């Protein structure tokens, strides 16, 4: 990811500094998932773009960007940056107001869980409609199987607390439940995994692994013995707080 552009975006949106600090790893992983298949003349849609970091990052990286949000009036900097920002409530109108084969990439990050599941069939058909052949959808959402959600707050989704402002989660999902939404589309899954955006415990740390036989010779013996024990555990799905799905239109 281009750190210079990202730092400019952070500076421009500094009033949301605390939010960025908590979500920065997610923004970077999402951006790298997009840039790894960047076309020559890229066109991107950011669904539910608040607070605007990814929309601004890709606009300043030379992409043509469109975005939709429930309350676009809270994002004047997005429109000022030359981004086509639409007022659109996906729970009321799950279809997407864009032409067929229009976007190279669609970002759908941390929005899925805020939507009424009754909207999913129409929404995913709309995503398929406006993606170009070979175009990709990047979807992130909380992991329903994360240990903290099951251990500390059991049965939390029996009565979801949501409002008309988009606050609250209708539900959180497993990987299998998210993948079911693709069954009626031609979108092929090319990546589906649990990942940690917010908890360091569930993040992979390839450079921090030391074989057990070497731990005594390393300067920080106890820390690296702990890494030997913890690293295999941290890769278990229930230690990872989020899901990352990448799908491609045939």
- Token readout for 162 is 């949501």
Query: CA 71, CA 48: separation in Å to the nearest integer?
Result: 9
Residue 235: the pLDDT is 55
State the pLDDT confidence band at 141, using cuts at 50, 70 and 90: very high
- Report percent pLDDT > 70 for the chain: 75
Query: CA 113, CA 243: separation in Å to the nearest integer?
Result: 11
210 has pLDDT over 80: no
Residue 169: the pLDDT is 87
Strands (E), the chain: 43-47, 64-69, 84-87, 103-109, 131-142, 187-195, 242-249
185 has pLDDT over 60: yes
Angle between helices 53-60 and 3-12 (to 10 degrees): 130
- Token readout for 51 is 């607070």
Residue 157: the pLDDT is 52
Note the pTM of the prediction, 2 decimals. Answer: 0.79
Where exactly are the structural domains of the chain?
3-201+236-249
State the pLDDT confidence band at 222, using cuts at 50, 70 and 90: low
- Report percent pLDDT > 90 for the chain: 47
pLDDT in tens, 31-67: 888 877 666 779 999 999 988 999 999 999 999 999 9
Domain 3-201+236-249 has CATH 3.40.50.150: yes
């Amino acid at each position: 990811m281009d750190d210079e552009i990202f730092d400019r975006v952070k500076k421009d949106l500094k009033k949301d500094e605390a939010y960025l600090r908590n979500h920065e790893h997610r923004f970077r992983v999402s951006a790298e998932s997009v840039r790894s298949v960047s076309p020559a003349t890229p066109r991107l849609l950011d669904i539910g773009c608040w607070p605007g970091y990814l929309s601004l990052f890709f606009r300043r990286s030379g992409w043509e960007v469109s975005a939709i949000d429930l309350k676009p009036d809270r994002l004047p900097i997005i429109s000022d940056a030359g981004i086509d920002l639409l007022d659109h409530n996906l729970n009321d109108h799950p279809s997407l107001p864009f032409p067929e084969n229009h976007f190279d990439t669609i970002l759908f990050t941390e929005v899925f869980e805020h939507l009424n599941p009754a909207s999913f069939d129409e929404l995913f058909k709309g995503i398929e409609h406006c993606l170009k052949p070979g175009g990709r959808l990047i979807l992130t959402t909380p992991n329903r199987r994360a240990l903290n959600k099951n251990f500390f707050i059991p049965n939390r989704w029996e009565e979801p607390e949501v409002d008309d402002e988009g606050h609250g989660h209708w539900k959180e999902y497993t990987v299998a439940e998210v993948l079911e939404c693709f069954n009626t589309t031609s979108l092929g899954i090319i990546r589906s995994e649990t990942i940690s955006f917010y908890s360091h415990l569930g993040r992979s740390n390839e450079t921090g692994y030391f074989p057990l036989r070497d731990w005594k010779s390393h300067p920080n013996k106890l820390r690296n013995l702990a890494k030997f024990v913890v690293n295999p555990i941290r890769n278990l799905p229930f230690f990872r707080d989020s899901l990352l799905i990448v799908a491609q239109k045939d």
